[in-house]
Chains A and B, each alone.
Chain A
Amino acid sequence: MTTQKINTMKCNNTQINALLTAYLDKALTPEETIMVEAHLNNCSACLHELQEIRNIQQQIEQTPLIEPPEDAEKRFRQMLEKQSKPKKRSITITVDFSWKKIAAAIIIFLAGAATALLIQPNTETSRSSLASLENQVSQMRQVLMAALIKNDSPSDRLKAVQYAEQISKPSPEVTNILLETLNHDPSVNVRLAAANALQEFAIHKEVRTALAESLQQQSDPMLQIVLIKMLVQLHEQSVVPTLQQFSHDEETHEMVKKEAEEALTVLL
């Protein structure tokens, strides 16, 4: 029955008929639209067809989408993590060798220095040589730290940060490496260690300002809280705008917000 009905109502103007779907989708040029509308006034077959297309399109719009597997996003994130790792490894292979050499050099140097001290323990120069030894160890630590910090393994980078803490008179270079680590290291633990190490050097105004600036960049709530606590302790006023921002921003973690608001009452 249906086929007969369609046959009797067939429209012969195939050119216009072919534009009906596009007409409903509002994808026609103004000229085409005028043509189709004029045709629709006289062609009941096309009018009927238009109604059917509209029905089926409505049906499609009411059809719900199917949920993808729940862990699809997790799987994608895991792939992303894997992808971002191998690159670093290839860069650090050379560093890997060099820091071992440096470590060996330090051991040999320390052994040699110790023997030298043992051989002549009571000379007048002992005091000054001890000082110079300390100085040289400090320098060695700096070199070792600079090499280790570039390593792929977070535990090696942690070691590097710990070396930095032991350096008695850190060069601006060490401070810069630590700041760089604090702002850009992928591991939160290493960033935290860097923050702690920097606290030791906070007698310098530049370090305090840099810490305050770093707070703006950090996204990890734990690190944000540690930095806020630290800066409040140092009474660093330049952090106030950042704290105000935190307390107004809806995206801020609740704990951080609380910490920031408390800090503001102390600093202002």
Chain B
Amino acid sequence: MDWLSDEDIMQEVKQGNTDLLALLFHRHHKHLFNFFLQTGVEYHHSEDLMQQVFYRILKYRNSYREHADFRKWMFTIARNIMRKHFETRKRHQEQDLPDILLNFIENQINNSDEEEKIKILYTALENIPAQDRELINLSRFQGMKYEDIAEITGTTVGAIKVKMHRAIKKLRDHYFQKADQ
């Protein structure tokens, strides 16, 4: 099934072949999971939100427009669900990053120099607002184009250029402050 595009599969799902959604889940759940983690959702909630995103895709499969970029649609839904999640938890702006991000590094990376750098990156990420983490994640970790990010976040490409630079600037300030010490 690997030769089928996300969009082809989603079209099949829309036409009632709902089992195939498991394929799209398989392809994207890891990235989606990390999108939540890195924006500041705890480990178990991240899984819950990830399931919710795909449940919603299933439920609203009929509203999928033919040939529409599947990842863009998925992240739009993910962002809405995450925003609701933060609202109900009353934790805006200053979310801590889940412990797993830092603990995981200690367990997985043997090279202590590399480990230190990743730790600094995550600490820097923790010190910037969730909206900025979200932008950085979509652009750098998910490799999305500015046009797509603009559509997902409901703004213009021009605005994204500036917002992205501000987000990176904040991250950079924290990152190099730590690294120079």
Residues of chain A at the chain B interface (Cβ within 8 Å): 1-2, 17-22, 25, 27-28, 49, 52-53, 56-57, 59-69, 72-73, 75-77, 79-80, 83-84
Which stretch from B30-38, B62-70, B85-93 is at the chain A interface? B30-38
* Interface check B104, CB cutoff 8 A: yes
Which residues on A sit within 8 Å (CB–CB) of B26? Answer: 73
- In the assembled complex, how far is the CB of residue A236 from the closest CB belonging to chain B, in whole angstroms? 29
Name the interface size band of chain B: 35 or more
Q: What is the interface of chain B mostly: helix, strand, loop, or mixed?
A: helix
Task: Indicate whether A72 sits within 8 Å of B50 (C-beta atoms), given known contacts A52-B172, A83-B58.
Answer: yes
Which residues on B sit within 8 Å (CB–CB) of A22? Answer: 146, 160-161, 164-165
* Interface check B9, CB cutoff 8 A: no
In the complex, A56 Cα to B100 Cα: how many Å? 21
Residues 142-180 of B at the A interface (beta carbon under 8 Å): 145-146, 157, 160-162, 164-166, 168-169, 171-172, 175-177, 180
Which residues on A sit within 8 Å (CB–CB) of B140? Answer: 57, 60-61
A-B contacts besides A68-B50, A73-B22, 9 pairs, CB < 8 Å? A2-B176, A2-B177, A27-B161, A56-B171, A63-B121, A66-B37, A66-B104, A76-B22, A80-B22
Q: In the complex, which of the residues B29, B33, B168 has the most CB atoms of chain A within 10 Å of its own CB atom?
A: B168
In the complex, A19 Cα to B162 Cα: how many Å? 6
- Pairs A-B, 5 closest by C-beta atoms: A22-B161, A21-B165, A68-B33, A27-B146, A60-B140
Which residues on A sit within 8 Å (CB–CB) of B114? Answer: 62
- In the assembled complex, how far is the CB of residue B19 from the closest CB belonging to chain A, in whole angstroms? 6
In the complex, A169 Cα to B157 Cα: how many Å? 71
In the complex, A67 Cα to B21 Cα: how many Å? 20
In the complex, A76 Cα to B55 Cα: how many Å? 8
Contact with A along B98-139 (1 / 0, CB 8 A): 001100100011000010011001000000000000001001
* A251 (CB) vs chain B CBs: closest residue: B1
Contact B177 A20 (CB under 8 A): no
Which residues on B sit within 8 Å (CB–CB) of A52? Answer: 172, 176
